[in-house]
Amino acid sequence: MRFDPNYRSSNIEDRRGARVGLGRGMGLGGTVILLVLSLIFGRNLLDGSGPAAVPSEQTAPGESAPVQETAEERARVGLVSTVLDDAQQVWARVLPQYGTQYRETKLVLFRDAVQSGCGVAQSAMGPFYCPNDERVYIDLGFYDELRRRFGAPGDFAQAYVLAHEVGHHVQHLIGTDQRVRQLQERNPRAANQLSVRLELQADCYAGVWAKSTEQRRLLEAGDVQEALGAAASVGDDRIQSQETGSIQPESFTHGSAEQRMQWFRRGFETGSPESCNTFEG
């Protein structure tokens, strides 16, 4: 994908210079579990939950302590800035056609740990969207893991990851995430299945954005394959097989490699969010 490595979006909050501690009494495992539940139910379950994680030496939103970065990391900031602004411009044009005005999200860059509206999160969680503060969070070091651990290199693989998270913001604006949470609360047994459908729709929305970049001749040879490779690499079956040596479909929360590729491809082929109804059937 063509982009200016020196470009910086005004919608980025750079907190890479902030330090956030987990506090006493709660380990990483407990923090991760509570953050996941916060994201699912749209409430900060870390607040008032006993010995919850607390931030230390945190910078204010929109501010940054001095940041040391490599040339590669600077280029990544240019890429995510480009993808963020471009995706938001696309959705600002598209959503009003379906009766919803687009409201911009912010992208928070952090290292190691961050205080979000959904609680304290660590880099091990990977990139995520928090509906409570309408922000996307990413430790750019995830892209190293995407390449080395998941075998998904390339700048458009990285672009897909961010476009997927912006897709969650679109779902939030439309109200899809709230409806899914209500269904999960009424039918806990279907919680995982509903989570999969929500994630696959975000993949499809990423494909819709990718189609717009093709139409504007921003794509380079191999970009779409990079995105498909990234979608497959973070499929639940691939991750479970890698981590445990077995696959348990009943515990999927994001969808299989094939499902994730299928829905990204559908969004890309149609270029229409109307094709992204993963909740049918």
pLDDT at 29 over 80: no
Give the DSSP letter of residue 271. Answer: -
**Residue 161 confidence class, pLDDT cut points 50, 70, 90:** very high
Tokens of 127: 């990139």
What's the predicted TM-score (pTM) here?
0.85
Q: What is the pLDDT at residue 79?
A: 97
Tokens of 247: 């696959």
The neighbouring-strand residues paired with 137 are: 108, 128
Q: What is the pLDDT at residue 230?
A: 96
3-state secondary structure (DSSP) of residue 268: helix
Q: What is the pLDDT at residue 237?
A: 92
Q: What is the pLDDT at residue 37?
A: 45
The whole-number average pLDDT for the span 185-195 is: 95
The pLDDT tens digits for 198-212 are 999 999 999 999 999
The whole-number average pLDDT for the span 141-158 is: 94
Cβ atoms of 52 and 23 within 8 Å: the answer is yes
Q: What is the pLDDT at residue 84?
A: 98
**Residue 133 confidence class, pLDDT cut points 50, 70, 90:** very high
**Residue 20 confidence class, pLDDT cut points 50, 70, 90:** confident
Q: What is the pLDDT at residue 19?
A: 81
State residue 135 phi and psi, 5-degree precision: -130, 150
Cβ atoms of 230 and 168 within 8 Å: the answer is no
| Residue 174 host element (H or E) | helix 155-174
The pLDDT tens digits for 40-92 are 444 444 443 333 333 444 445 444 567 888 999 999 999 999 999 999 999 99
Mean of the per-residue pLDDT values of the chain: 87
- Give helix 176-186 / helix 28-41 axis angle, nearest 10°: 110
